[in-house]
């Protein structure tokens, strides 16, 4: 089983975006039928649960341009209604699940049962050797019974029924509810927030849809700051540098525009304390005009990942960097940003069976083992064995070692994996029994922020050189 800390379950949530609109490079204005195919594929990939039948266009005088215009208009109108069709499909499925419960009560069945699909307790170690190392295993099916064999089973059944009722009300009334609001509707029944989080995700997994189609969301917890502006249709705007301590990670809604013309890089920082140190440093007056910094205070939440994905999709030329501790948790957090969460794999599969929400071009800025040599007192001996005795280095805990071993069995950190540098650092940690926090760089001349500033400049120039080459 993957080593997910219980307190971090809610932080591993994220959801997919719709595929990007048809690429202008593949759009051929002279080829009507190829363009229709592109648009239809876009619709199909956007909402796989919806069934779309292409209606024949009305007679538009017979000219090729008029016919093409009407057919494209028909496709786009169907795309616009696609979300509503999926919403209605979800409503029908949930109503069907609740009707089975009601029918069982009316017929006085001895046992009422709800079947759910879940990814809790799954591991990529369960994959066959012939399967893709980065793929996610299929969800397992669980059954919740009432009255069940004990009180706890009956309580779990009641919780799921109540969650289904709340989701159904949100969909019918077309309102969005946060998971926190859902919990406070019945705190005595749910017991704790993690219970609500788990079963909301299980319902989404069972229906094969993203959590957004359940009209359930999570409140933002991440912070960001930088030289960006969000312009709203009513003429108001939100500037990323408006608050000295940062602003909550925003949600860019339809009709709003995101201006990042002055942003040259994006820096994701694992810890809130380090994020605040950067913003309060003298160097931030210059850094803040050049880029965007962000923290999810640990594992990324849905809103944070959605905002970053919008940046990656809309502005792929802006490089993104991760700054995390040199320990298994730091690499795991970076992996969640870049590759996603196994527990919610049903939310991130697109038409090509590839992650729909990730940051595939995310680069690891630090902390890495060779950065330890740069700290004062560690410059003289640069041998691998000397790292264990370097100043500021700590010993791995039993939990750290267990987590590292589990990660080495995952697809992205496994043998012949897509992240050999991550695997090498995990192996080095285990061999030397060491880890290091990012605060080790505070001992450098100018402190951690000066080091970040220099590294960002180097990495940015390197990314620019790569773009020129390719």
Q: What is the pLDDT along the chain (470 residues), one digit of tens a residue?
A: 444 444 343 333 333 333 334 443 344 444 444 444 444 444 444 443 333 333 444 444 555 555 545 554 554 444 444 444 477 888 999 999 999 888 888 887 778 888 888 877 665 554 544 445 445 667 788 888 888 888 888 999 999 999 999 999 999 988 888 888 999 999 999 999 989 988 998 898 888 887 878 888 877 789 999 999 999 988 899 999 988 899 999 888 878 899 999 999 999 999 999 999 999 998 999 999 999 999 999 998 878 888 998 899 889 999 999 999 999 999 999 998 998 776 655 555 443 333 457 888 999 998 998 888 766 555 545 455 455 555 668 899 999 999 999 888 876 888 777 888 999 999 999 999 999 988 888 878 778 888 998 888 888 777 665 555 44
Instruction: Report the pLDDT value the prediction gives residue 141, as an integer from 0 to 100.
Output: 87
pTM of the predicted model as reported, rounded to 2 decimal places: 0.68
Domain extents in the chain: 82-127+135-214, 223-375+385-468
Task: Check whether the bond before 147 is cis (ω within 30° of 0).
Answer: yes
Tell the CATH topology of 82-127+135-214.
Answer: Arc Repressor Mutant, subunit A (1.10.10)
Identify the residue whose tokens are 């939100």. 238
Residues with Cβ < 8 Å from 263, sequence gap 6 or more? 226, 227, 228, 290, 291, 292, 315, 318
Instruction: Report the pLDDT value the prediction gives residue 339, as an integer from 0 to 100.
Output: 85
Q: Could you give the CA distance from residue 17 to residue 75 in angstroms, rounded to a whole number?
A: 20
Nearest Cα residue to 314 out of 239, 258, 231:
258
Cα-trace Rg, the chain = 25
The two tokens of residue 283 are 């160097």
CB hemisphere CA count around 200 (13 angstroms): 30
Sign of CA dihedral 407, 413, 416, 421: negative
Q: Which region, left, alpha or beta, applies to residue 243 given φ > 0 means left and ψ of -120 to 50 means alpha? A: beta
In the CATH scheme, what architecture does the domain 223-375+385-468 have? Answer: 3-Layer(aba) Sandwich (3.40)
Beta strands 216-217 and 363-366 are unpaired
Catalytic residue among 72, 183, 184, 373: 184
Nearest Cα residue to 247 out of 292, 189, 213:
292
Query: Is 184 a catalytic site residue?
Result: yes
Instruction: Report the pLDDT value the prediction gives residue 374, as an integer from 0 to 100.
Output: 66
Cα angle: 420, vertex 452, 399; to 5 degrees: 50
Instruction: Report the pLDDT value the prediction gives residue 358, as an integer from 0 to 100.
Output: 82
What angle do helix axes 193-207 and 151-173 make, rounded to 10 degrees?
70
Q: Which residues are 141's β-sheet partners?
A: 117
């Amino acid at each position: 089983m993957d080593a997910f800390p219980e307190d971090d379950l809610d932080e591993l949530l994220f959801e997919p975006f719709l595929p990007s609109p048809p690429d202008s490079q593949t759009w051929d204005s002279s080829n009507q039928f190829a363009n229709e195919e592109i648009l239809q594929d876009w619709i199909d990939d956007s909402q796989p649960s919806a069934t779309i039948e292409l209606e024949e266009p009305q007679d538009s005088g017979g000219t090729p341009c008029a016919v093409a215009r009407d057919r494209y208009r028909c496709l786009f109108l169907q795309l616009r209604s696609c979300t509503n069709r999926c919403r209605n499909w979800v409503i029908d499925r949930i109503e069907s699940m609740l009707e089975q419960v009601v029918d069982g009560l009316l017929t006085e069945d001895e046992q009422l049962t709800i079947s759910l699909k879940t990814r809790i307790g799954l591991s990529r170690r369960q994959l066959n050797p012939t399967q893709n190392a980065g793929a996610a295993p299929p969800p397992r099916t669980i059954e919740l019974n009432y009255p069940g064999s004990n009180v706890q089973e009956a309580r779990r059944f009641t919780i799921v029924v109540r969650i289904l009722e709340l989701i159904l009300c949100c969909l019918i009334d077309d309102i969005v509810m946060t998971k926190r609001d859902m919990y406070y509707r019945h705190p005595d029944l749910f017991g704790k927030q993690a219970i609500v989080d788990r079963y909301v995700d299980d319902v989404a997994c069972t229906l094969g849809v993203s959590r957004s189609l359940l009209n359930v969301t999570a409140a933002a917890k991440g912070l960001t700051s930088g030289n960006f502006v969000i312009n709203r249709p009513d003429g108001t705007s939100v500037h990323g540098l408006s608050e000295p301590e940062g602003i909550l990670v925003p949600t860019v809604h339809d009709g709003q525009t995101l201006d990042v013309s002055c942003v040259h890089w994006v820096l994701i920082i694992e810890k809130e304390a380090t994020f605040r140190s950067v913003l309060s440093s003298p160097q931030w007056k210059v850094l803040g005009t050049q880029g965007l910094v962000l923290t999810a205070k640990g594992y990324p939440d849905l809103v944070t990942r959605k905002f970053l994905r919008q940046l990656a999709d809309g502005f792929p030329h802006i490089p993104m960097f991760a700054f995390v501790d040199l320990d298994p948790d730091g690499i795991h957090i970076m992996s969640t940003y870049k590759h996603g969460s196994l527990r919610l794999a049903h939310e991130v599969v697109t038409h090509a069976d590839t992650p729909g929400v990730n940051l595939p071009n995310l680069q690891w800025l630090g902390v890495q083992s060779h950065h330890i040599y740069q700290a004062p007192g560690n410059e003289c001996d640069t041998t691998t064995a000397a790292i264990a005795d370097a100043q500021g280095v700590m010993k791995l805990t039993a939990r750290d070692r267990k987590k590292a071993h589990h990660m080495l069995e995952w697809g992205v950190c496994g043998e012949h994996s897509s992240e050999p540098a991550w695997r090498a650092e995990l192996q080095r940690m285990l061999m030397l029994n060491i880890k290091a926090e990012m605060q080790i760089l505070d001992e450098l001349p100018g402190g951690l922020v000066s080091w970040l500033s220099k590294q960002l400049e180097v990495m940015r120039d390197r990314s620019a050189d790569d773009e020129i080459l390719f």
